[in-house]
Amino acid sequence: MALSRIKTWIAGEVLTASDLNAEYNNLLNNALTLISPLTGPLDIDGQTLTLDAAAATQVVSSAAVSWSFTSGAKTGTPGTGGSVERFSAQTFTDSATAGSGTATAAVFYSIAAPTLAATNASVVTTDAATWYIAAGPIAGTNETITNGWSIWADAGNVRFDDDIHWLSGQTFAQRGILAHANTGIRTYTFGDQDSRVGIVLGTAQATTSGTAFDFTVPTGTKRVSIKCAGVSLSGTDHILVQIGPAAGVETTGYLSTSANSTPSFFNGTTGFFIYVGSAAQLFSGRMVLELLDSSINSWVETVTGKLDSTVLSYGGGDKAIAGPLINIRVTRTGTNTFDTGAVNISYE
């Protein structure tokens, strides 16, 4: 409430020391009420407003910055309440929308679009932002941060009405993120690690010679397609695919069977098989590896393709590896060499 006077003087009354002391003590002891509540404008004209006894937290307006808030160092119990700025929850009552009506929007914290102008002609600003966050929180003395987020939306959907650009300047569509229309709402499906999204194509390798062709995929991959075009071996071996974690491909523990439509079968435990069985056969098709259970890194495999114009090759299998999938090797079941064709992978 406003500061109240102690005594109202009348004409001809004598000013006593006790009256004067009482009024000054009233001012000194209740100084905060002089500005609370304000009944007129308060102008501190560029002076710094100090907000704590240590003079560590201050607010000032300068010629170049309208509102400069300097937060002092604080101590206490960390949490999600915010240690630099904290806005309390508010209840806003819509008293204008008619019953059974629809309010177009309700926003609790709003930042209007600023305008950037220039005194000189033809000025170009490469990047301009309404809101800029330099980085996530930095680990200080005796502290380790496992995940440092620049923005943390703890609950509720996040809506973007315009393009989102990666650091490289690419939009979601350019990065291959999948978008699904659902009653006007777009849900974007991201990759699991790094900036990898959508289907990523590896580098094709010619299988015109050699005995093994290695590929790697990033941690978090859930599906791999191994594609063969006219791949042939020098003898009666079959194509063999082996997978493994960062330590390398594993050569045991597979359950795999492959066959052709003659039919002839081949099965074993040293890898995933693609039935070939003849130097005259050229395999064209693909093997698909899909993650079944990430807790044990178990994978299932299917293969479909053709050996010539009348013979098919197909099969399936499964394998759990010692860690997240990293390494993939295309090789053969025996001692043959590759003599024609090409192989590549894609992953997501």
Return the closest-CA partner of residue 207 out of 240, 184, 177: 240
Distances (CA, A) of 330 to 76, 140, 243, 308: 57, 47, 9, 20
> What CATH architecture is 200-347?
Sandwich (2.60)
Return the closest-CA partner of residue 348 out of 235, 210, 189, 234: 189
| Res 156: pLDDT | 87
H helical segments located in the chain = 17-29, 172-175
- Domain edges within the chain: 200-347
Q: Are 270 and 252 in contact (CB under 8 A)?
A: yes
Q: How far is CA 238 from the centre of its chain?
A: 42
Return the closest-CA partner of residue 242 out of 223, 267, 214: 214
For the entire predicted model, the pTM comes to 0.50
Q: Are 113 and 131 in contact (CB under 8 A)?
A: no
Report the distance separating Cα 274 and Cα 260, nearest Å.
Answer: 9
Half-sphere exposure of 127 (CA within 13 A, CB side): 6
How many other CB atoms sit within 10 Å of the CB of residue 257?
16
| Res 43: pLDDT | 77
| Res 70: pLDDT | 87
Half-sphere exposure of 126 (CA within 13 A, CB side): 1
| Res 261: pLDDT | 85
Q: Are 336 and 193 in contact (CB under 8 A)?
A: no
Written as tens digits, the pLDDT of the chain (348 aa) is 567 888 888 998 998 999 899 988 988 888 777 677 777 777 777 788 888 877 788 888 888 888 888 888 889 999 998 998 888 899 999 999 999 999 999 999 999 999 999 999 999 999 999 999 998 999 999 999 998 889 999 888 888 787 776 655 555 554 545 444 444 444 555 444 344 446 899 999 999 999 999 999 999 899 999 999 999 999 999 999 999 999 999 999 999 999 988 888 888 999 999 999 888 889 999 999 999 999 999 999 999 999 987 889 999 999 999 999 999 999 999 999 999 999 999 999
